[in-house]
Structure 1
Amino acid sequence: MDPVTPVQETTTAAPAPGPPPPRPRIGERIMAAINRDPLTAPHALRNDAVLALLTTTHAIVVALLTDEGRRPDALGWTLLLAAQIPLVWRRRRPMLVLAAVVALIGPYHALDFNHAAPTPAAYVALYTVAVTSRPLRALLTGGIVLAVPLTVMVVVNTHQAVELLRISGWVVVVIFVGIDVRFYRQYVAAIVERAERAERTREEEARRRVAEERLRIARDLHDLLAHSITLIGVQTSVAAHVLAADPERLDRQTVAKALDDIAETCRTARGELRTTLEVLREAGTPSDGRDPLPALDGVSDLVEAARLAGARVEQTVRLGPVPPAVGAAAYRIVQEALTNAVRHAGPEPSVQVTLHEQDGALHVSVTDDGTGPDPGGTPGFGLVGMRERARSVGGTLDAGPGEQGGFRVTAVLPLSTTDRTQARGTR
């Protein structure tokens, strides 16, 4: 029986909890309560129940210890305590709660019980209506609430009616405080909404830039790899043909040249790929100082590579200074057009590359005498990428069969910022 190897248990220590967040100060909590919408505040029912309990305690203490009217009897206590209960639901039904409170304290005042005891409940109900209703509705409701007890007191006790009229300013104060808090909350909500809208806009802009960057990377990799792989494929076919054509009379010089061309193409592709990856990693200029954007100076290298692949290429370039972005777009368009010509135009195609400036725009033309892409073949991303290259600088691109046969790619790329802006606006 094989000995059992003891299993050593390892335990991962839980990360030490960080310091608890500082508790908000009392002023911050008060402002948070003021800013909060009373209809959506958390624990609203519980908080209103506590508030009703506080007003009940106040009513009992005032009714027992002050002489504002006679002390309540059994009916008075019933009316006084019952007036506090609706406050528990003051946020859900403000008008109904206010009506219930007024209906209970009206008979209470009519019986000339302690007039100061039910005042807080009435103020709380009135404030809730003012802070949750439109200002005009709150003012009309306050007027009605003030008129009802005044009418009752005029009938019961004229002296108390005058006293109630004297302190009615507090009712007006409560109404206007509620209206002011309502306006302040609307102002804070508008600021928060604008901030959230701005944040959403920033997030959408960031997503758009990420999408554009991914598309640019896809175009760069496609242009680089498709061009290099096509050339390597053609050069490999040349070497394979030489090896298989007449093994006894092997043309070592031709094979060696084809292999050297393959090695050079691989080095060039590796260099461009490294530059692209450095740009992606550093989000800036590579440390070795190479420009990540290809320039029109490299068109001659593209032409030479196409010639090595068997194409007969002629180039005509009449240009002055070109913006880097426009030059990079033109370079990639020529690169993809030459790749398509080598791949689809047949053996030893004749290709004409022309770049010239006219009417403030760079005109690019690549024409071959081949048959063009196979209409029944699987569509690739070359033509789509070239059109996106042209659109990225505000230009246009056309690709299709030429008038004299073959296949033709033409692009017009504005050289000025104004032209590029107008071109974007007309798309």
Structure 2
Amino acid sequence: MNPVQPTTTAERPRRGERIMAAINRDPLTAPHRTRNDALLAAGVAALATVIALLGDGERVPGALGWVLLLAAHVPLVWRRTRPVLVLAAVAACVAPFHALDYNHIAPTPAAYIALYTVAVTGRPLRTVLTGIIVLTVSMSVMLTVDTHRAFELLRVSGWVIAVLFFGVDVRYYRQYVAGIVERAVRAERTREEEARRRVAEERLRIARDLHDLLAHTITLIGVQTSVAAHVLAADPDRLDRAAVAKALDDIAETCRTARGELRTTLEVLRDPGSPDTRDPLPGLHGLPDLAQTARAAGAEVDLAVTADGVPPAVGAAVYRIVQEALTNAVRHGGRDDLSIRVSVAAHDGALQVRVIDDGTGAGAGTPGFGLAGMRERVRSVGGTLDAGALPHQGFEVSAVLPLEATR
């Protein structure tokens, strides 16, 4: 019987975190805002009722006063969606309440909440104009009631200004927090895009390596197998055992080399998190081996290299370009006496690579991934590549790779 696994629940945020989340939340998009504002309006209305009943030395509102006092709290339910209209509605109820000389403290919380909402949801200019209008209207109403109370209102008008400035400060603080969050999200998105780009580049690099390896190896094995078959079928009575043995040894050596490179590539694919432990690609020093392999396949190869101190990235690109060009020439040359000329020379801060053959079909057939892979490798080091059939016969691959920018 399997033991019951304990269930884990997400840890609830602490009270302080919930309070800060509520403060940082945009009031115009906060969830359940209408419900919360309705509860707020009811609570503030209850507070205003208590203040009106227990006010020391203040007149208790009559029937009209109670209607105006309670009606002033109803618009607060929609204070976030229509803050200016809510403030106007609250003022329309509070102004006659003050004019009737009832308890002047009772409607103050509702007025302050409406003022704060205007400040926290609007632009500073609108907030300043709202403050001026509110103070002007309040002074005008109080002057008609009692001059002494009007000057008292002027003395406590600092609270109105404080509420407005507090709302502006909260608005700027929320914008600041929103900017931080937006930058964090943008940075995270950038990191994800960079990770995807690196994965795509790595997949492309592995695809190029596999193509170069398998195309080169399969072509050589095919040519060497044809040589062995030709020797066996040419003159069975005078079998050249040494030639057959050499062809088979060449096939075995080619298979061993390809198997080693393929194994290291597959190890990287099996464990993407492990570092790439493959040996670096040969540079210019590997070109003689490529030429020798093409000669073993029956081609005559003339190799000329007049460059030294080449950066590893450029050297690896040259190696792959020459490898792919030799493979295509041997595969599509179409003649037994195929001649290939390979030249690598440094000139004016760039490395010029040319591979020319005199075959009859190097550019024929359906285009594969070889030329595309060569162009990608050339672009990776900031170079250019041209490839095409020659006017009369043969095929040429020409590349120019800068040296200075890759050092």
TM-score, normalised to structure 2, is 0.93
SS in 1 for 2:343: strand
Alignment of 1:21-420 (within 5 A): 21-26=11-16, 28-67=17-56, 69-247=58-236, 249-280=238-269, 281=271, 283-284=274-275, 286=277, 291-348=279-336, 349-375=338-364, 377-402=365-390, 405-417=393-405
CA-based RMSD of the aligned residues comes to 2.1
Cα contact 2:335–2:360 (8 A) shared by 1: no
Deviates more, 1:142-151 or 1:397-406: 397-406
Write the distance in 1 (CA, Å) between the matches of 2:12 and 2:175.
Answer: 28
List alignment gaps of at least 5 residues for structure 2.
none
Cα contact 1:123–1:174 (8 A) shared by 2: yes
With over 3 angstroms needed to count, the CA separation of the structure-2 counterparts of 1:275 and 1:319, relative to structure 1, is farther
Cα contact 1:68–1:115 (8 A) shared by 2: no
Report what 1:424 is aligned to: none
Report what 2:8 is aligned to: 18
Cα contact 2:220–2:297 (8 A) shared by 1: yes
Write the distance in 2 (CA, Å) between the matches of 1:367 and 1:149.
Answer: 95
With over 3 angstroms needed to count, the CA separation of the structure-2 counterparts of 1:196 and 1:68, relative to structure 1, is farther
TM-score, normalised to structure 1, is 0.89
SS in 1 for 2:282: coil
Write the distance in 2 (CA, Å) between the matches of 1:153 and 1:319.
Answer: 96
Cα contact 1:76–1:113 (8 A) shared by 2: yes
State the AA in 1 paired with 2:262. L
Write the distance in 1 (CA, Å) between the matches of 2:283 and 2:51.
Answer: 89
Cα contact 1:371–1:406 (8 A) shared by 2: yes
SS in 2 for 1:40: coil
State the AA in 2 paired with 1:242. V
Report what 1:7 is aligned to: none
Fraction of identical pairs, as percent: 70
| 1:253-274 CA distance string (max 9 Å, x none) | 3333222211111111112222
SS in 1 for 2:223: helix
Deviation, structure 1 residue 191: 2.1
Cα contact 1:94–1:128 (8 A) shared by 2: yes
Deviates more, 1:87-96 or 1:313-322: 313-322
| 1:333-353 CA distance string (max 9 Å, x none) | 000000001001123311111
The number of equivalent residue pairs is 404
Deviation, structure 1 residue 279: 4.8
| 1:312-365 CA distance string (max 9 Å, x none) | 112112221221111110000000000001001123311111122222222211
Write the distance in 2 (CA, Å) between the matches of 1:256 and 1:363.
Answer: 39
Write the distance in 1 (CA, Å) between the matches of 2:274 and 2:31.
Answer: 45
Write the distance in 2 (CA, Å) between the matches of 1:352 and 1:279.
Answer: 36
Write the distance in 2 (CA, Å) between the matches of 1:74 and 1:292.
Answer: 93
Deviation, structure 1 residue 403: 5.8
With over 3 angstroms needed to count, the CA separation of the structure-2 counterparts of 1:60 and 1:359, relative to structure 1, is same
| 1:115-153 CA distance string (max 9 Å, x none) | 111100000001000111111111111221222232122
Write the distance in 2 (CA, Å) between the matches of 1:88 and 1:99.
Answer: 14
Deviation, structure 1 residue 13: 6.3
Deviation, structure 1 residue 229: 0.5
Write the distance in 2 (CA, Å) between the matches of 1:379 and 1:182.
Answer: 62
Cα contact 1:131–1:178 (8 A) shared by 2: yes
State the AA in 2 paired with 1:25. R
Deviation, structure 1 residue 401: 2.4
State the AA in 2 paired with 1:77. W
| 1:179-217 CA distance string (max 9 Å, x none) | 111122222222222222222222222222222221111
State the AA in 2 paired with 1:23. P
| 1:86-113 CA distance string (max 9 Å, x none) | 1111101101111111111111111111
State the AA in 2 paired with 1:400. G
Write the distance in 1 (CA, Å) between the matches of 2:306 and 2:268.
Answer: 31
Deviation, structure 1 residue 17: 2.5
SS in 1 for 2:346: strand
Write the distance in 2 (CA, Å) between the matches of 1:285 and 1:145.
Answer: 71
State the AA in 2 paired with 1:32. A
